[in-house]
Structure 1
Amino acid sequence: MKNICVFGLGYIGLPTAAMFAHHGANVIGVDVNPHAVETINQGKIHIVEPGLEAIVKQAVDNGKLKASLTPVHSDAYLIAVPTPFKGDNHEPDLSYIHAVSKALAPLLEKGDVVILESTSPVGATEKMVEWLAEERPDLTFPKYHEPENEADIFVAYCPERVLPGKVVEELISNDRIIGGMTKESTEKAQEVYRIFVEGDLLATNSRTAEMAKLTENASRDVSIAFANELSIISDKLDINVWELIELANHHPRVNILQPGAGVGGHCIAVDPWFIVNQNPEEARIIRAAREINDSKPKWVIEKIIAEVDKLKEQGVETPVVALLGLAFKPNIDDLRESPAVNIAREMLDIGSIEVLLVEPNINKLPKVLEFGKLVSLSEALERADVVAILVAHDDFGKVEISRKNVMSFVTNR
């Protein structure tokens, strides 16, 4: 597999493309964002990920990695585009995968490998195959229910399972699930990932691989929901939830996670809904966890407003509220599905208060917060009447939680 084409150069696609290039493959990375393409071709990156920029620069300088707005024929194609949900029923939006399928189909030749990495509902890989087959009736494609049959094109689903901030390391070291539509598709996909993956390549079929990815994130979502619900109960009972969890975790078989302001990101906040959407009657715990975590930002806002109301009763006409952290998790710049962003947006809509936003990993606010004020941590601490820590960035470790006006909704660092 000397030539690889990666669709989607975001937080997963770009590190994956760079890793293939770093290990000797010729890689074309495709993205619809001209700024991202231009930035990468300069040997730079448009996202925050430790260690990635040096690898991208070396790969670009060596001619192994090139970004483009259009794909070219390759031996293997990896698809790492967004799969959000839409509507009140959280219906999966596969339009990005559909668009890639139409762009990819004309390039396919017998023996090529197509790998879907985007987190997707069960059956998405089969749907992608249908779209490819519609465009290329001259080729044969694998069928899920005929795993022994050969086809012209090999297709597999291989989800990522990396931690933002450690993507470069974990892409190499983590075990990888390889779910082929057929046994031969699984083997071909394993050949692709053996280029750089040192972890085990776990063979299965496409549906099981799709469900495994959703299961991993739904499991984490349920665990976080327990911690978040516990924090709300503890607040009502006037109990320090951090001390409570620390004490409970001394039990040899208990490991409660830390509560927060909600759950965000492109995985945990989205993936469980794919299970619920397809299994509305059966996925009761998974649905409850999603609802608990989705409701946590509202509770946080209510707690902040309560402090603001106390200040107004004391004669402070326009209280200043500082919200520390906008990313969906510590020490990254990724704001996707971030509960902190939702909290900030609603706080900005409240009259008779001034809101200061602190996010050390970005230099410009997203459009949904365009009327907010992005300030330094020092300015926020100096000016604010109420300080709410929403994300446990390392930069906020110096903030004294014991200060009278500081509210922390994340682990006391």
Structure 2
Amino acid sequence: PAPDHQVAVIGLGYIGLPTAALLASYGWNVCGVDVSQAVVDTVNAGGVHIEERDLDRLVHDAITAQTLVAATEVPTASFYMIAVPTPLGPDKTPDISYVEAAARSIAPKILPGACVIIESTSPVGTTERVAAIIAEARPDLVVPRDGSTGAADIALAYCPERVLPGRIVNELVYNDRVIGGVTAACAERASALYASFVKGDCLTTTARVAETVKLVENSFRDVNIAFANELSMIAEVIGVDVWDVIRLANRHPRVNILQPGPGVGGHCIAVDPWFLVAGAPDAARLVRTAREVNDHKAVHTENRIRALMDAAPGGKVALLGLAFKPDIDDFRESPALAIAQSLSHTHGQRILVVEPFTESLPDA
């Protein structure tokens, strides 16, 4: 049988490392697995390679207590948590190859009684795909499949992270969690792990519903931001102050318009809606349009800056912040970074950048 109280977290990025360190602080024996030897060495030395509030202390304490170790090879464990990237391809379709690779790395090590949990944001059906990969690699195991009610040797579940960068450690503990099992028994098995450290509610459902919930949460936010961003462009055309419009419209008891900005950044809100579009391209018309509006807002913002620079040839522009939000070192999908990179190519001597978390302009 699988060893008791041993957790393997596959992927030590912005979600995997905080989750691994937090589990270790709650008494689990945790092995954090990453393909990068540099990341493994940093963590084993008690350090961190990402900027996140309280994470450095959490990792240092767990390494000191010997409840956390990092490695490049997957160990035998009672729980496996997959927290690897799921990027978009050039055609805006999801790439789950890292999740599939993680499943293949787990398969040879898994023992009866173990539970595999996917935390990576994934298109609907990914948990079933992981079940198929493990079943193919391990014909000796009875792997649960969607809708099956018979006994199985292992459990498979999906539990999406829903945290705010800059507050990850706190929100991992206090946010409610949605835990979807391939079967009801799988969901209950996975929820036992989360119940050991989550102070919010652990809500169980099916894997497909849980996968959809994650995508819907971020699509909802993206659509609402798109309304604010489009409103700011409408206000320019008709000659009114968008901030006055929003402030006064929000005095209506059932109106709550968000703040417009230069676009949408981060690896969640700027990416996840495309997963919904890929799954139902003809039905997801509003979701697709919101993504296009928010992507265009960065182009619109850059064009406005260029017009101002052309009108004042000797002037310089200060760009305050490159990350997609304050107080983090996460530049993924940041419209501010994209604007800075584009302007630096044509007006490099006239661009000043203030960003406390980098010494040089990051790559795209």
- TM superposition shift of 1:140: 1.4
Q: For the structure 1 residues 306 and 54, does the alpha-carbon distance in structure 2 shift closer, same or farther, using more than 3 Å as the test?
A: same
- TM superposition shift of 1:62: 0.2
- 8 A Cα contact 1:15 1:167, kept in partner: yes
- 8 A Cα contact 1:262 1:295, kept in partner: yes
Distance 2:132 2:243 in 1: 50
Q: Does 1:354 align with 2:350?
A: yes
State the secondary structure of the residue aligned to 2:263: coil
State the secondary structure of the residue aligned to 1:350: helix
Distance 2:21 2:212 in 1: 27
- 8 A Cα contact 2:250 2:256, kept in partner: yes
Distance 2:233 2:267 in 1: 25
Q: Does 1:29 align with 2:29?
A: no
- TM superposition shift of 1:348: 2.0
- TM superposition shift of 1:353: 5.1
- 8 A Cα contact 1:149 1:182, kept in partner: no
- 1:330 corresponds to which residue? 326
Distance 2:64 2:105 in 1: 28
Distance 1:192 1:54 in 2: 23
Q: Does 1:291 align with 2:292?
A: yes
Q: Does 1:217 align with 2:213?
A: no
- 8 A Cα contact 1:178 1:201, kept in partner: yes
- 1:131 corresponds to which residue? 133
- TM superposition shift of 1:349: 2.4
Distance 2:347 2:331 in 1: 25
- 1:378 corresponds to which residue? none
CA deviation string 1:176-234 (max 9, x = no partner): 00100011101100111111011111010000000000000000000000000011111
- 8 A Cα contact 2:85 2:120, kept in partner: yes
- 8 A Cα contact 1:221 1:268, kept in partner: yes
Aligned-pair identity (%): 52
Distance 2:82 2:20 in 1: 11
Distance 1:238 1:95 in 2: 48
Give unmatched runs, 5+ long, in structure 1: 369-413
Distance 1:11 1:238 in 2: 42
Give unmatched runs, 5+ long, in structure 2: none
Distance 2:100 2:359 in 1: 33
Distance 2:312 2:360 in 1: 30
- 1:168 corresponds to which residue? 169
- 1:67 corresponds to which residue? 70
Q: What letter matches 1:105 in structure 2?
A: A
Q: How large is the RMSD of aligned CA atoms in angstroms?
A: 1.3
Distance 1:287 1:197 in 2: 34
Distance 2:241 2:48 in 1: 42
- 2:106 corresponds to which residue? 104
Distance 1:296 1:220 in 2: 16
Q: What letter matches 2:27 in structure 1?
A: G
State the secondary structure of the residue aligned to 1:226: helix
1:237-256 equivalences under 5 Å are 237-256=238-257
Distance 1:143 1:341 in 2: 43
Distance 1:30 1:209 in 2: 25
Distance 1:356 1:42 in 2: 36
1:337-348 equivalences under 5 Å are 337-348=333-344
- 8 A Cα contact 2:341 2:361, kept in partner: no
TM-score normalised to structure 1 length? 0.85
- 1:366 corresponds to which residue? 362
Distance 2:27 2:100 in 1: 30
Distance 2:187 2:321 in 1: 42
Distance 1:365 1:129 in 2: 41
Distance 2:211 2:249 in 1: 34
